[in-house]
C-alpha cells in the first residue's frame, strides 16, 4: 500500500523515458509525491496530465520564483512535441483556473 515514487528533501526530478508515454498524475492518487520537476523530454511525444492537487502534492512554496503570496510551484520540462493536459477540477470537484506566472 505504501509503494510509489516519493521525493525527499531538495528538488527531485521524475524523468519520462521513451516515446509516446503518458504520465497521468490525476489517476496516481498519491502514489507520486514530492517530485518538484517532471521531465517529459524522452525520445518522442510524451504527455503529462495533472490537476491542482497534483501540483500541491509535488510542488514547494516559492521554489522557482518568490512571491508575496508564497504560491506552490512545480516545473514541467519537455520538448516541442510533448503535451501537458491540465485538469481544471480541484480535489473538491470545483472548477479552478491555471496561471502561467
**CA-to-CA distance for 80 and 83, rounded, in angstroms?**
8
Secondary structure of residue 57 in the 3-state scheme: helix
> Does some domain include residue 26?
yes
Q: How confident is the model at residue 82 (pLDDT cuts 50, 70, 90)?
A: very high
> Does some domain include residue 35?
yes
Which pLDDT value is given to residue 96?
A: 64
> Does some domain include residue 46?
yes
> Does some domain include residue 13?
yes
C-alpha cell at 77: 520540462
Q: How confident is the model at residue 92 (pLDDT cuts 50, 70, 90)?
A: low
> Does some domain include residue 93?
no
Domain holding 53, by residue range, is 5-86
What is the number of domains present in the chain? 1
> Does some domain include residue 94?
no
The answer to whether the CB of 38 falls within 8 A of the CB of 9 is no
pLDDT single digits (tens) 10-66: 899 999 999 999 999 998 877 898 999 999 998 889 999 998 888 888 888 888 888
> Does some domain include residue 96?
no
> Does some domain include residue 15?
yes
Bridge partners (DSSP) listed for residue 6: 33
**CA-to-CA distance for 77 and 97, rounded, in angstroms?**
21
**What is the pTM (predicted TM-score) of this model?**
0.81
Amino acid at each position: 500500500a505504501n509503494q510509489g515514487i516519493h521525493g525527499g528533501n531538495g528538488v527531485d526530478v521524475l524523468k519520462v523515458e521513451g516515446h509516446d508515454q503518458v504520465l497521468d498524475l490525476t489517476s496516481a492518487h498519491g502514489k507520486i509525491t514530492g517530485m518538484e520537476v517532471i521531465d517529459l523530454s524522452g525520445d518522442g511525444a510524451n504527455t503529462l496530465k495533472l490537476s491542482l492537487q497534483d501540483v500541491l502534492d509535488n510542488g514547494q512554496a516559492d521554489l522557482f520564483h518568490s512571491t508575496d503570496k508564497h504560491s506552490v510551484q512545480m516545473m514541467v520540462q519537455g520538448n516541442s512535441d510533448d503535451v501537458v493536459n491540465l485538469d481544471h477540477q480541484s480535489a473538491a470537484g470545483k472548477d479552478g483556473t491555471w496561471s502561467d506566472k
